[in-house]
Structure 1
Amino acid sequence: MPHIHLGEGSFPLWALVLWTLIGTALISTVVYRVRKGGIKTHQIALAGIGAAASFAIFQLNIPVWGGIHMNLTGLVGIIAGPLLGAIVALVVNVFSAALGHGAVGLIGANTLINASEAIVAYYAFKTLIGMDWDVFPAGASATTLGLSVGSFLMAAIIVISGVNGSALPRGDLTIAVAGLAGLNLGVAVVEGILTGLIVQFLASVRPDLVGLTDRDTQEEATGVTA
């Protein structure tokens, strides 16, 4: 899914500094929120499991148009929450860059992209569940939306930054990146369906893992009252 696979030195220095500063600001805000509000023990465990799964599937790269893959950031956001989801995005990108999957200088930009997917997926899922959607369509739609936002953000970052050594004019670069974003949107649907199935399974065996305990309890209480 959305991830800038360009090598070291592909972005101008000003762009590297800009995206690194914005990424640092995002993670700093997340850490502040975590320290201020605290997190539950089970969320840490879920974040750890999600990070391992995301990192593992993240390395399975399909060499099409610069490389495409799944990363399960939508699932991580739904089960671990938006704050830990953003931290997982950072951790996965740091370890991936260490293995040569993405430039070290692009960790800030890629963290922004992947963290946005987790955050959007989480809030979209909660919103759809609040509208009484079933778990599968809510999980699939929320994930697809989050990954779509990541695709557009990735495209915007590349076009704004430009690519060192590229002979393409800005307009042609925009068209090429739009094609890559469109390809990622197609993969987003596939990953959305997969995530929806996973979330549906989790909801059937451990609804608390996807934050559905309160709704189920409320429904049971309503049934008793009736």
Structure 2
Amino acid sequence: MAHIHLGEGSFPLWALVLWTTLGVALVSAVVYRVRKGGVETHQIALAGIGAAASFAIFQLNIPVWGGIHMNLTGLVGILAGPLLGALIALVVNIFSAALGHGAVGLLGANTLVNASEAIVAYYAFKALLRMDWDVFPAGASAATLGLSAGAVLMGAIIVISGVNGSALPRGDLTIAVAGLVGLNLGVAVIEGVLTGFVVQFLASVRPDLVGLADRTAGEESTGVTA
């Protein structure tokens, strides 16, 4: 949902190096964890479907205040997990940049933003389920939290980096970026609700896809013996 739409050369060189280094470090850590722990077959299939869906909806840009859109990273994180979710964020950003949707130089920054959405959504969803939340509110809330985290991180990256050629003082830039973040937070709620419906539907037909197989089996067992 959050994405830095600035063009090439918008960030100073030190900022590009910083965000690229952090992005590479994150991806390297994810790849190491994946190679060490392995990936289940169904997760690979979900990752492929999630990447395709995320990329497709990512290209539908609404030209409001620099551009807003949905990207389903919260849903991707919930279904594919935090590791594959981060890799999907990288892949989607690479293909989007190749089509001119986002600067190539900002791949590191945008990967950090979108990977954080998937990671936060996954862990929030698991935490809410452990608190016995129903699937819909858990999915909607987790996705909203993840997308909100990405929006705030996006704003922080822009303010910290500054924008080359901008006549706005840092204080005015912060105010302008805060408005953009606020707009993205509103979109996060909408996408969060949509994600909640999708997760609820998947839980009703394939609970194993959202990590509810054991929970469903336990409930069915309890119902039989009651």
Q: TM-score range by the shorter chain?
A: over 0.9
Secondary structure of the 2:70 match is coil
Secondary structure of the 1:81 match is helix
> How far apart, CA to CA, are the structure 2 residues paired with 1:218 and 1:43?
23
> How far apart, CA to CA, are the structure 2 residues paired with 1:99 and 1:204?
37
TM-score by length of 1: 0.99
Aligned ranges 1:82-93 → 2 under 5 Å: 82-93=82-93
Q: Any runs of at least 4 consecutive aligned residues in structure 1 with deviations exceeding 6 A, and if so which?
A: none
Question: What's the offset of the Cα at 1:154?
Answer: 0.2
> How far apart, CA to CA, are the structure 2 residues paired with 1:129 and 1:5?
35
User: Paired residues, what number?
Assistant: 226
After superposition, the C-alpha distances for 1:155-196 in whole angstroms (9 at most, x for unaligned) are 000000000000000000000000000000000000001000
After superposition, the C-alpha distances for 1:82-122 in whole angstroms (9 at most, x for unaligned) are 00000000000000000000000000000000000000000
> How far apart, CA to CA, are the structure 1 residues paired with 2:221 and 2:130?
17
Partner of 1:35: 35
Q: Percent identity?
A: 86
After superposition, the C-alpha distances for 1:64-94 in whole angstroms (9 at most, x for unaligned) are 0000000000000000000000000000000
Aligned ranges 1:139-150 → 2 under 5 Å: 139-150=139-150
Question: What's the offset of the Cα at 1:217?
Answer: 1.5
> How far apart, CA to CA, are the structure 1 residues paired with 2:196 and 2:163?
36
> How far apart, CA to CA, are the structure 2 residues paired with 1:141 and 1:224?
32
Letter paired with 2:145 = L
TM-score by length of 2: 0.99
> How far apart, CA to CA, are the structure 2 residues paired with 1:176 and 1:106?
20
Question: What's the offset of the Cα at 1:223?
Answer: 3.5
Letter paired with 2:40 = K
Partner of 1:72: 72
> How far apart, CA to CA, are the structure 1 residues paired with 2:203 and 2:223?
20
Letter paired with 2:157 = I
> How far apart, CA to CA, are the structure 1 residues paired with 2:204 and 2:220?
15
> How far apart, CA to CA, are the structure 1 residues paired with 2:142 and 2:192?
8
Question: What's the offset of the Cα at 1:218?
Answer: 2.0
Partner of 2:154: 154
Letter paired with 1:175 = I
Partner of 2:56: 56
> How far apart, CA to CA, are the structure 2 residues paired with 1:38 and 1:214?
21
Question: What's the offset of the Cα at 1:225?
Answer: 4.6
**Cα-Cα RMSD:** 0.8
The answer to whether residue 20 in structure 2 is matched with residue 20 in structure 1 is yes
> How far apart, CA to CA, are the structure 2 residues paired with 1:142 and 1:31?
24
